[in-house]
Amino acid sequence: MTVRLAVIATVYRHLSHAQHFADRFLVGYPYEGAWHHPDVEVVSLYVDQHPVGDQSADRAREFGFGIYPTIAQALRAGGERLAVDGVLIIAEHGDYEINELGQMLYPRFEWFQECVAVFEAEGRAVPVYNDKHLSYDYAKAKKMVDDAERLNFPLMAGSSVPVTWRLPDLELEHGCVIEEALVIGYGGSDPMDYHALEGLQCMIERRRGGETGVAAVQMLEGAAVWSALEEGRWSRQLLEAALSRGDSPQGLTVEDGRSQDLLGSGELQRLVEQPTAYLIEFRDGLQATLLMLNFAIADYCFAARLQGSQAPVSCQFFLTQAPNVNYSASLVAKIDEMFQTGRAPIPARRTLAVSGYLEACLKSHHQGGVRLATPHLSATYMAPLESHHARQ
Amino acid sequence: MSRRPRIAAVVTEYRKFAHGQHIVDRFLEGYGWNGRHHRPPMDVVSLYVDQRPEGDLTEDRVRRFPQMKLCQTIAEALRLGTDDLAVDGVLLIAEHGQYERNEKDQHLYPRYEFFMQIVDVFRATGKTAAVFNDKHLSWHWDWAREMYDLSLELDFPFMAGSSLPVTWRNPSIDMPLDARIEEAMCVGYGGVDSYDFHGFETLQCMVERRVGGETGVRWLETYAGERFWEAHHQGLWSRELFDACLCRSHSLTPARDGFNHIFPNVDEQKRIATPIAFRYEYADGLPATMILMNGLVQDFNFAARLEGMERPLSTQMYLPMPPKWKTLANFFSPQVNNIEQMFLTGKPTYPVERTLLTTGLVAAGVDSLRQDGTRLQTPHLEISYPAPSASTFWNS
């Protein structure tokens, strides 16, 4: 049966997240070597802002759906009752305020609550996909997951980093013992550190015992990042492994094309003007680190040392090129799977965990890089057994 | 070999993004491999550079790697001031540089000429070394065949080709060994007597694994302009395989303004692309088509229909291509890694016959295009060889 879909977006303009995601439901996307037209009909759209280049009216006209002034009306498609089988909340891009932690205050929580209010009023709930993190605020994010569990509707959220191609096609064995993990990334906070942390979490959640929650976090900046290396708080071996997977070293590579041992040569420290390290201590003792290495690299790469093996495992999360950004097709395939099966293939608790420790790291940074205990980050979950990244 | 192998590098140019720079730099600087910064266990001891254009990096590399002696001739690079052959391996990289074009618009890179100078040293000293020849063997078929024959006559390990067969694949799959292939296709991009070679190598490294092994190519014909679209419309090659290739691309030009990724209908393809198809038939009857779909894609995608399989097998041979999306052309890393293995073991990891065949396909393609697409019989390309059973593409 065709899934009727409501799209709730901040902005709908060319190359915004809403355009990437909603368009794939309108015109299809490549999946496992064929162009797939999902059995989904977009029936309604709510769009919060209309910047220059707004495409919402054009799309509504071409594809025959309505634009509604409120989220509730979009979910009811202008009628009296809930009129959709799925909701896509894409609250990324657009002009919103930034708080003292540097977080953009996208109204994901508020919009989700409006959906929940409709579901409660109707006594019926439908699957929801929430793009990127759940909320900038952990308490709000937690309430989103709790509401979905309370009303028993499938909720999926997150980044496309966990579902894109990997170079090489690395998947950790379910139940493996991870001694230490590290991810490297680049870009600004909090959009891009969030993506890198989702990459980290989708790998380490497969460890023995599943996700246990976070005991403490600390975010370091500048020279303190390298001091932490000297103190053994993150692993040089894992950084070398992650760097070895990159295709975008800066500096001398840009100058004359040469390959570089960025770490061994010391160029890394020279190139990165303001490194940041997100140190995350999990409750089961696992130590994981995100290093944001702006001006030295421009890839997202993962490395981990597994019990019983000397050589680390590592891969690049392959973010394919614009404008196609095929990684969004990988994510839409998973969203479509949720709509078709009524089951979220990727746990929302992954994104809850990441939303929580990212916010805690930003608070640590705001307080001068102190270590913060995180008793509130107690949510546990088990990783799915099967793989959900692009590999077919 | 107990000591570290000694390597001579013979290149047309050594400047940023020239193949000479990509390949020789990896031997000198090392490269990311299997989670390490890998340093090849061998030394480039000599360098011959034919042209020194603006941006030439020769002086910088020779200064920073003093074990690498800059030589004025190819013979000197191989002899290093002795009467003997002084190296265990030779890198012959004759891609890029200012060389003339002939009446067929072929770029006359001096691969054959350099190769003959290398062979002269082998003959004079009575010794040989392993040789890697970057890209195709020669623009001139007879010379390419002579290069191959000389490697057999003098019995030295000889490897050649493109990085397409060895780079990452999305998905990370190989053609099942002894597959029964009914039709094969590559959709790529680039120019004639240039990237067409990469397209042929992409296709060849997959189909050579079919049951019975490689049998060679019986004929080749080409389709450009209106003839392409008419053949496309007639279904001369499989639309299903063509569509599968486009669905593996990461660079499909949006057919409509305001969309980032939308599948183009044939009218839209016609508006966007300037295609050329090289259609050929193998001696065992396998039909193959290599299409340069300029304007529509900027990557190399492969698809094949296999007996008994409901859907085509398809993948993209992925090139992290600088400078637009990446800074480092890391598809050279698996190529260098395979070359290293040959230098260490004396055994090529994949057959040079593959590249002999694709060299011939490039030349036949040039000739057919000049004759309005005429089908050319290619008895000289009935080259048979077994594919290596081990996969050699980058998957670790």
Q: List, as ranges, residues 323-352 from A with C-beta within 8 Å of B.
A: 323-326, 329
Give the single-character DSSP code of A257.
-
Which residues lie closer than 8 Å to A119 by C-beta, 6 or more apart? A82, A125, A126, A151, A153
Environment class of A211 (CB within 10 Å of its CB; exposed 0-12, middle 13-18, buried 19+): buried
* B353 located within any domain: no
The pLDDT, as a whole number, for residue A9 is: 98
Evaluated on CA atoms B67, B69, B74, B79, the torsion sign reads: negative
Quick one: B145 and B220 in the same domain?
A: no
Neighbours of B390 (CB within 10 A): 9
Residue of B nearest to A392 (CA): B171
Q: How many CA atoms lie within 13 A of A304 on its CB side?
A: 27
How many structural domains does chain B have? Answer: 2
Residue B35 resides in a domain? yes
My answer on whether B307 and B181 are in the same domain is yes
Question: How many other CB atoms are there within 10 angstroms of residue A236's CB atom?
Answer: 13
Band of pLDDT at residue A144, cut at 50, 70 and 90: very high
Asked whether the predicted pLDDT for residue A316 surpasses 70, the reply is: yes
Q: Locate tokens 């493996």: which residue?
A: A176
Are both B152 and B176 inside the same structural domain?
Answer: no
Domain co-membership, B13 together with B152: yes
Average per-residue pLDDT in chain A? 97
pLDDT tens track for A168-203: 999 999 999 999 999 999 999 888 999 999 999 999
Task: Tokens for A134, please give them.
Answer: 């759940």
Q: Which fold has domain A3-158?
A: Rossmann fold (3.40.50)
Domain final residue pick, B104, B128, B156: B156
Shared domain check, B271 and B191: yes
- Decide: pTM greater than 0.90: yes
Does some domain include residue B44?
yes
Question: pLDDT digit string (tens) for A84-113?
Answer: 999 999 999 999 999 999 999 999 999 999
| B202 and B241 inside one domain | yes
Same domain flag for B37 and B139: yes
Residue A358: predicted pLDDT: 96
CATH of the domain at B21: 3.40.50.720
Residue-range domain boundaries for chain A: 3-158, 163-317
User: Which uninterrupted H or E stretch holds A139?
Assistant: helix A138-151
> Are both B204 and B257 inside the same structural domain?
yes
Token pair of A281 as six digits = 């201590």
**Domain span at residue B35?**
6-156
Looking at the fold, whether B180 and B113 belong to one and the same domain comes out as no
Interface list for A 94-123 with B (CB within 8 A): none
In a domain, B252, yes or no: yes
Task: Name the minimum distance, in Å, from the CA of A116 to any CA of chain B.
Answer: 32
Cross-chain residue pair B170–A318, CB shorter than 8 Å: yes
B187/B305 same-domain check: yes
Helices (H), ranges, chain B: 19-29, 58-64, 74-79, 111-125, 141-153, 196-207, 225-234, 239-248, 266-272, 332-345, 352-370
* C-alpha to C-alpha distance for A261 and A249, rounded to whole angstroms: 10
Which residues of chain B are within 8 Å of residue A320 when distances are taken between CB atoms? 250
Same domain, B188 and B105: no
B33 in a structural domain: yes
Tens-digit pLDDT profile for residues B49-105: 999 999 999 999 999 999 999 999 999 999 999 999 999 999 999 999 999 999 999
CA-wise closest residue to B13 among B25, B4, B27: B25
CA closest to B393 among chain A residues: A168
pLDDT, tens digit (0-9, with 9 covering 90-100), for B171-227: 999 999 999 999 999 999 999 999 999 999 999 999 999 999 999 999 999 999 999
Q: Tens digits of per-residue pLDDT, B157-166? A: 999 999 999 9
Is B53 within a domain? yes
Q: Which residues does B28 contact at the CB level (< 8 Å), separation at least 6?
A: B44, B61, B64, B65, B68
Chain A, nearest residue to B258 by Cα: A14
Q: Is B223 contained in some domain?
A: yes
Q: Does residue B40 form part of some domain?
A: yes
Work out the mean pLDDT of chain B and round it to a whole number: 97
* Co-location of B114 and B140 in the same domain: yes
